Structure 1
């Protein structure tokens, strides 16, 4: 059966590329993807697939019913773009100023549409059901996954899988691993309130620039001195604003940053340490503070059996060399929410070739990928469908 899947997939490749390029030219930001959602829903209906729209916002769900009872497997693709200006010199360059698909979500969507078309054409051979989750707003917390789950996206689902194109891997390579794969992500905003004054009279002030500078150092010491060194974690202060004149001591300062961890206990520890540091500085430096702490996506943890299944399928149906054990990364993904609810796994698909145009990192204004990677991404989904749902 897989050969018939692949034959149709190959025939549909140019169509898949055309979908990807249309989406690339017409990107929409997180929580604003109404036209993209309509495009997806219209395509699914044209294949003869039952569609549910506006799931948790702009989410779209397609359902393929096999002719025989069995398991229900879900595949997810995200479809939001980023607030980045497209600097590529290609015909399918973004037509929207300041917005582009710089993370491959146009590819994820096109690949899953191709999978939908293939599986629906072979639904008579399926034992069970395929749920196609087209998710909005992956790039912007709180993300679309949580809202789709709350509206029943996983009802009746036994297993869920998601994939991501990766320009740090060459075309032909597939990567995953059991256990933690991607980090949790939290954000913080700290406002320090002191006493301003003349730069020549520091003794009459409480200097938020000096105190804020020490705070940055203390925050860096959380990872280097308070977290177990075998646990990957990051605390980054990305923004520090205070004052507006060279000879005035600022009465307030605002620091903003992000926290990443690969372990939920470490995640909680870091938040506690930040709060303890601020409480201590309040006493020692006579400073007032407010802390806005935003909990983002949890750690993405692949289920062992499902991650090992992907490895097995890649080695058996592509080649032993095609599989790569995925390194953990401190980037985050709201696919983690699905894996908290159902068994499944997340995998990465190599997307660069020898051409420099395909080797820019994700979220770069010249991001692009080898479109042959769309075939590999689709193929993994089809292999999983064949494993769980195809009758003997």
Structure 2
């Protein structure tokens, strides 16, 4: 009951701070910056903590990361809370009065909301620091959207040293407000990406025997590559292969000399990563022999599968279900997402849990993350702060 009383104080303070939270979210939405270029956003975040007696580390990792340590002064666990803050190269088309002022850049994934709720939660936890034991480390992470991502650099720089648990959360437009996904095991896919140039020999359409058509080879590869998913990977394992860019345009009577392909492979089991890479590269070698072409391949493995630690997930699930947060209507323990997330680098190092919270607009009309019409329900932000805060407080008090 004592911990519930503390959590209730946290919820009340978050409610009091919510108008400011919304103001911050809208400011950040108006001023998005691309991955590894978030200089002003990093400064905005660091400046927020100037009136608090906390340790603030800037330019952390490979970019503009900010790490804030809130120490209660009493022994206990160290819990890290992570929120990302980069935007996307998207031209906004939402009609919002606070739409992006940076041409061609938009917070189309909700990282502005992540940052606003985390700043608010950090302040509330700081104000209540005399009532909990241990350390809260706030990880404001840049560059989630672009491999190799900002998380990996922060891990290498030592952000998880001495940390017992790490928690993260992501708003999801397809999920109704009040729903939280908290699932054991793999919850987001690992990813590999590729760029390849297929070089043949150009020529005239009337004399194909004098040329070597790169478009024919590329077209064959687009179809053949799908056999990796259908015939090389366990059918009970979720995976996908997408070729999203095919540059083979020429004149109607010209045989193309070089065709460029780009795409990605995703997998929900880390054991499938080497299998998919092995057979992808075998297909490339076979293509060279079969069509007498030369292929320049750039194959990149970027984000691993994001796995939620089993024991910690059960703790967080219990915390959410018993949180007393009136806005939580459902905790979905089977929610997975087929996108990728570099939070995986954190949870690969120490026990971590990544949850999803519903941010579907009240009218039920939603656009997916990365859409130029993406909207989030701002009511979800104080809910996210309360949910992550409740889980953190329960983890800090588990050995009391």
What per-residue deviation string (whole Å, max 9, x for no partner) do you get for residues 210-234 of structure 1? Answer: 1111111110121112221111111
Q: Which residue of 2 aligns with 1:24?
A: 29
SS at match of 1:341: coil
1:46 paired residue among 45, 48, 51: 51
Alpha-carbon distance between aligned partners in 2 of 1:210 and 1:329, rounded to the nearest angstrom: 35
Alignment of 1:83-122 (within 5 A): 83-122=89-128
Which position in structure 2 is the counterpart of 1:187?
193
Asked if the contact 1:61/1:134 (under 8 Å) is kept, the reply is: yes
**374, 384, 395: which one aligns with 1:388:** 395
Q: TM-score, normalised by structure 2?
A: 0.94
Stretches of structure 1 lacking an aligned partner (at least 5 in a row): none
Please state how far the C-alpha of 1:385 moved relative to its aligned partner: 2.2
How far, CA to CA, are the matches of 2:111 and 2:190 in structure 1?
A: 20
Aligned-partner Cα distance in 2 for 1:130–1:183: 28
CA shift, 1:301, in A, is 0.6
* Alpha-carbon distance between aligned partners in 2 of 1:346 and 1:142, rounded to the nearest angstrom: 19
Q: CA RMSD in A?
A: 1.5
CA distance in 2, matches of 1:47, 1:322: 35
Query: 1:239 — aligned with what?
Result: 245
Q: Is the contact between residue 361 and residue 367 of structure 1 (CA under 8 Å) also seen in structure 2?
A: yes
Contact in 1 for aligned 2:117/2:382 (Cα 8 Å): yes
What is the correspondence of 1:139-154 to structure 2 with a 5 Å cutoff? 139-154=145-160
Show CA shifts across 1:320-352 (max 9, x none): 842112432220000000001010100001111
Detail structure 1 runs of 4+ shifted over 6 Å in the superposition: none
Match of 2:19 among 3, 14, 18: 14
Q: Would you say the 8 A contact 1:44–1:116 is kept in 2?
A: no
Equivalenced residue count is 391
Q: What corresponds to 2:310 in structure 1?
A: 304
Is the contact made by 2:185 and 2:308 (CA closer than 8 Å) also made in structure 1?
yes
Q: Tell whether the 8 Å contact from 2:84 to 2:115 is kept in structure 1 after alignment.
A: yes
The answer for unaligned runs of 5 or more in structure 2 is 1-5
1:275-313 CA-to-partner distances (Å, cap 9, x unmatched) read: 111212222222221211011111101101111222212
SS of the residue corresponding to residue 99 of structure 1 reads: coil
- Aligned positions of 1:156-167 closer than 5 A: 156-167=162-173
Q: Does 1:175 align with 2:181?
A: yes
Q: Which residue of 2 aligns with 1:62?
A: 68
Corresponding position of 2:3: none
TM-score using structure 1 length: 0.96
Matched, 1:367 2:374: yes
Q: 2:355 aligns with which of 328, 339, 347?
A: 347
CA shift, 1:147, in A, is: 0.8
Q: Contact conserved, 2:320 with 2:391, CA < 8 A, in 1?
A: no
SS at match of 1:53: strand
Residue pair 2:184, 2:333 contacting (<8 A) in 1 also: no
Q: Work out the CA distance in 1 between the residues paired with 2:51 and 2:112.
A: 19
Cα offset, 1:120, TM superposition = 0.7
